[in-house]
Amino acid sequence: MSAREKLRRFFEENVGKKLTTNQLSEVAQIRDYQRRIRELRTEYGMKIKSHVDRADLKPGEYILESLDLDPAISRNISNQLRTQILERNGFTCQLCGASAHDWDDINPSKKVRLLIDHIVPVSQGGENTPENLRVLCGNCNHGRSNIQTLGETALNVLARLRKSSREVRREVYEALKKEFND
């Protein structure tokens, strides 16, 4: 049985219960189990939430909210389109300029890893078109998760806020409460 299937079954057996990364890692028995969780969310539509989505969860905790499935999101980019985007962007990160030949600033023992990024996230209606795709290094892509960079939207602000510490979220809450109560 694949790691993704093991995780799917474990989540379904524990609907509504907080699960820890230690439990999920043990069930999956692979190092990159977080990727399988993302696949269960996006490709299968499972309502798996983390501390990024819910304030009552701590980092390292996940919960399957219900067995109802969201619409699945396809992020498949053909090899031909991937090559076209890499060539168009000169095999360099479009935010920091790093190339695959450079050493990674965060992990100096590894080379930079280039990824294809959706400018408008698929979850916000973005498509696999050349106009909506660009090259980013792994470091620049990592913090972007579901944040659209073209224009400010409430979804973008909320996505960034969810990634902030509890103290920052509280400060924003107090500022908004003051602004709208005056």
Distances (CA, A) of 67 to 19, 30, 60: 16, 24, 21
Alpha-carbon span 94 to 91, nearest angstrom? 9
Is residue 134 within 8 Å of residue 89, measured between CB atoms?
yes
Q: What confidence tens digit (pLDDT) does each residue in 118-152 have? A: 888 776 778 889 999 999 888 787 766 555 554 55
Query: What does residue 125 show for φ and ψ, rounded to 5 degrees?
Result: 100, 0
Banded pLDDT at 32 (limits 50, 70, 90): confident
Q: How much is the pTM?
A: 0.47
CA 82 to chain CA centroid, Å, is: 19
CATH numeric code, 3-64: 1.10.10
Q: What confidence tens digit (pLDDT) does each residue in 76-117 have? A: 788 899 999 999 999 998 888 888 888 887 777 788 888 898
Angle at 69 between CA 67 and CA 75, to 5 degrees: 140
- Nearest to 93, CA basis, from 143, 46, 47, 50: 143
| Structure-block tokens of residue 4 | 């993704």
Label the pairing between strands 61-64 and 133-137.
unpaired
Whole-number pLDDT of residue 23? 96
Q: Where are the domains of the chain?
A: 3-64, 79-142
